[in-house]
Chains A and B, each alone.
Chain A
Amino acid sequence: MTTTVEMQHIRKYFDSSQVLACDDVSLSVAKGEVHAIVGENGTGKTTLMSILYGLVTPDSGQILIDGAPVRITHPNDAIRHGIGMVHQHFKLVPSFTIAENIMLGIEPNSAGFIDGKDEADGVRKLADSFGLPVNPDLRIREISVGMQQRVEILKILQRNAQVLILDEPTAVLTPQEVREFLNVVRRLAEGGRTILFITHKLAEVKAIADRVTTMRRGRNVGTHYANDQTIREMANLMVGRVVTLTVEKTPAKPAATVLEAHNLLVGGAGGMPAVFGASLDVRSGEILGIAGVSGNGQTELVEAIVGMRAVDGGQITLLGNDVTHALVRERRDAGLAHIPEDRMTTGLNLTTNLDENVVVTSYQNKPYSRSGIFDFAPVRKLAQEIVDKFAVKSARVGEPIKTLSGGNLQKIVLGRELKGDPKLIVANQPTRGLDVGSIEFVHKTLIEARDKGAAVLLVSVELDEILALSDRIAVMFAGKVVAVLDRAEATEEKLGLLMAGSSLEHAETASEKASA
């Protein structure tokens, strides 16, 4: 096995956030291998890869490519050495075509004039040679996320990258797209490219990686062959203790109905209705999971229930009171807690400190304020309580939170929302982008809240998560709740068919046939 990339004793300390992101990390990657880098959030995976790609300059350590030391201080250096990176958040121009994006900056031109047809042909040829077909004339804003990722990969292949760094490539993909993506990675590796990919999903590591490097608290805690390790071993190594991968819960003891949505009509982004006559109910002491392919009205339904989106028709009842048009605050006062889809912009305000973040749902109440004037001592106490109770690492009272990792940010959201035992918890994609340890924590927390008598409405595009947590499962398709199943009668197959738009009868007969 010949080594293409070697990173030796990399150390990086961030002054601004006082975080030692990489602590004497060494890593060697062989040519043509798929090398996964796993670790919890905030353990320095992305920093390490950013150093390799020249986005971050290390304090010390060196990088060798094909045995020769190189200096990489800018992505241009990295590209020159055949290293390309696809970021977690794509950097594409939405109004440009696929071809224009791929050729951006290296357009084939004659005397400064770009030949669009030439460009498109070049891209088509490139795409076909790697077995990644695309239609070069489509605009980025017209194509799916999975296709956008393919464009990003083609973009770095066009720049002749031999080493591809992929930062959490599957976090944004649907299950079908993930399968397709993993095939692409395999093909590229077989074609002699080296793939370095950061992920949280250990199943994917098992599926395609040759070797896996685990990082914990800025250190490389071991590089292993993926075949030699079970998922459980990887998870334990990652977290540094024994993790429970399955969710343990007792059967639900549902009581009175807490939330009732009847025949809801909710507008979407483009003025078209996104929720089209959806009805559901959630009872105290149960978790109702909403399954569905992303974009079938789940987000709009949740926003309508929590009061952040206007309801055009139908009725929402919370604990027997009509709250269809109630303000967010009125719903919260009635016992609503909301764990939003996007913790970075909705769940938290990253421009301010911990204290002001934890108090947003209760600042107008005593003891945090009296007649409109803050009393900061109880606010600080609240922040400290949340930090202690939820073990939020490296968060300090009165300090900014923008440097915290995703898992820790989500812990702050959970701590704030679950404070004071809410009656209804609406959790939209509560574990998106989190690592194993944090997912375990979120799941446990939600089940604890359920056992204390809260009604939980859980939206997730991860079918595993829905199946693991839910007591009942509602399936959304095209803005409607097409079926509500008890957990016992729900199978992955049946849900999959319902999510794709089959009727319940059809799904049942089809899955019976399959099992027969």
Chain B
Amino acid sequence: MNFLRRILDSISIPVIAVLLGLLASSLFVLLANVSPIDTYQQLFCEGFGPRGCQTFGDLFIFQAPNEDDGTTTTVFSPLYGSGGSRLALILEQATPLILTALSATVAFQAGMFSIGMNGQFVMGAITVGFLGVWLPAQIYSLAGVADYESAPELLRTIMHLIVPLICIAAAMGVGAFYSWIPGYLKVRLNVNELISTIIFNAIAVQLVGYLVNFPLRSDQNNIARTARIDDTAWLIPFNRTVFADVEWFSGARVGVGLFIALIAAALVWFYLKRTTAGYEQRMTRGSSLFARFGGISTGKATLRAMLISGALSGLAGVIAILGVERRVVDGFNQTQTGFDGLLIAILAREAILGILIVAPIFAGLNLGAINLQFGDLPRQLGGIIISFIILFNAMEDWLRERLRGIFKPRPRPEAPEAKEVAAS
């Protein structure tokens, strides 16, 4: 009962924030002289519905057309996969978001308001964008294989086991190091982490832009890009492997990365709640004087948190490149995976389970907004909605106060009969 109450208590505000966010955004839709209901219908259909989704109802029950005879069959939308389910696409998009959100959570829970996820993410991405090409090439040349396609099957199998692992380890290391620097600056020189991580984000984006445009540029394609990673470095999506025949997965590059993200989520939860190291960083956040008083080395706890946070963002970069993009394209991070993760962590109140719920919703809204731009409205609408949701979410105290007012009306002030107070 208590547990249920707590859950209700923790989700009530985000749910209200979403509704208010949609309500407030509809003002902008009205400004464009479009019906908000139609717009949201389209937004949600494009984001969460099956192909051909037209109404809110289609999100749940859908009359799927039969190609052969023009008749329709009634299907349960989330399971309907013809043409590839958008829910699979959501999973693809949510995977790196989950990781950057975890990254933000670990930093926040050490009292570090680090917003360096974006920088760590692109650094991780460029690391595997390079290693995914270079490392297999080195191994092939060592093994004396000239034509990669004709490499012995055994060699390729072994490589397919170790190359991604090395890539993951390297990118996590790079991300961790890139996050450790602002942490060190904070602990040693008391440099505000917000400022240093903003600057480090900018540095990373410029550095990666340079690398993609010059040393690692692979061809004379209009938009600069690195070479495609070798197949042995590829985290092959489900739609090419185990679920090749399942149409639900056909349009999405979701793969083993999703499991990596889920395992990371479980590990981060365990780390924060069940280990002494997690305890140390949480106490450092709660009151650093208290932590030091108890014998906790607060500097160490902070640096450890920054290392873990950076490694998680780096891992997000790995999934984005090895699992989805397979190469780094100039400006590939315009989706701002790092910042989105930050927002997801805030919306989820830094709760791990909350992140796993919010990240797909976030991904779906993004998807819906991107597809919406083909309609009458710009895709910025998605940004407006998300911004409003965050704004309303930040009004937690005020909303709670209102909620209490609604559910528990104030007792009317009544005049009780006068009673003499002992004044002896």
Contacts and interface: CB of A to CB of B under 8 A. Distances in A.
Given A340-B293, A352-B282, A372-B275, A346 B287 contact: yes
Interface in A48-90: 57, 59-62, 69, 71
Query: Which among A69, A225, A328 has the greatest number of chain B C-beta atoms within 10 A?
Result: A328
Interface stretch (B28-36, B125-133, B239-247, B411-419): B411-419
Interface string A1-30: 000000011000001000000000011100
Contacts of A222: 422
Interface in B277-298: 277, 279, 282-283, 285-287, 289-297
A382 B362 CA distance: 42
B419 A9 contact: yes
A394 interface: no
B221 interface: no
A360 interface: yes
A382 B100 CA distance: 37
A447 B281 CA distance: 36
B413 to A, nearest CB: 6
B279 A374 contact: yes
B415 A346 contact: no
B402 interface: no
A211 B424 CA distance: 9
A356 B283 contact: yes
A348 B424 contact: no
Contacts of B283: 349, 352, 356, 360
Contacts of A349: 283, 286-287, 290-291
Contacts of A8: 416, 418-419
Nearest to A364: B276
Interface in B387-421: 404, 410-411, 413-416, 418-419, 421
A345 B415 contact: no
B292 A211 contact: no
B5 to A, nearest CB: 12
B23 to A, nearest CB: 28
Contacts, number: 101
Contact of B292 (A69, A224, A328, A342): A328
B423 A328 contact: no
Given A60-B414, A350-B287, A224 B277 contact: no
Given A328-B293, A332-B295, A220 B421 contact: yes
A49 B372 CA distance: 57
Interface string A353-377: 0001000110110000100111000
B276 A372 contact: yes
Interface string B107-124: 000000000000000000
Contacts of A207: none
Contacts of B411: 59-60
Contact of A60 (B275, B404, B413): B413
Interface residues of B, number: 32
A511 interface: no
A338 interface: yes
Nearest to B400: A16
Nearest to B289: A346
Contacts of A338: 293
B346 to A, nearest CB: 17
Interface string A187-223: 0000000000000000000000001000000001011
A246 interface: no
A325 to B, nearest CB: 14
A342 B287 CA distance: 12
Query: Which among B277, B410, B416, B423 has the greatest number of chain A C-beta atoms within 10 A?
Result: B423
B276 A373 contact: yes
B296 A372 contact: no
A114 interface: no
A381 interface: no
A44 interface: no
B300 to A, nearest CB: 11
A350 B290 CA distance: 10
A374 B274 contact: yes
B419 A347 contact: no
A189 to B, nearest CB: 17
B279 A363 contact: yes
B423 A211 contact: yes
A347 B290 CA distance: 6
A350 B416 CA distance: 38
Contact of A62 (B276, B289, B295, B413): B413
B279 A28 contact: no
Nearest to A351: B286
Nearest to B284: A349
Interface string A361-405: 101100001001110000000000000000000000000000000
B295 A329 contact: yes
A220 B421 CA distance: 9
A308 interface: yes
Interface in B325-375: none
A222 B414 CA distance: 24
A256 interface: no
A198 to B, nearest CB: 18
Given A26-B421, A28-B423, A349-B287, A69 B415 contact: yes
A104 interface: no
A138 interface: no
A224 B289 contact: no
Contacts of B295: 327-329, 332, 360-361
Contacts of B415: 62, 69
Contacts of B287: 345-346, 348-351
B187 to A, nearest CB: 16
B110 to A, nearest CB: 13
Nearest to A336: B295
Nearest to A361: B294
Nearest to B292: A308
A369 B413 contact: no
Nearest 10 pairs between A and B by C-beta? A329-B295, A360-B294, A351-B286, A349-B286, A328-B295, A349-B290, A346-B289, A349-B287, A9-B416, A26-B421
12 contacts: A28-B421, A57-B410, A60-B413, A220-B421, A329-B296, A346-B293, A349-B290, A350-B286, A360-B283, A360-B295, A360-B296, A373-B276
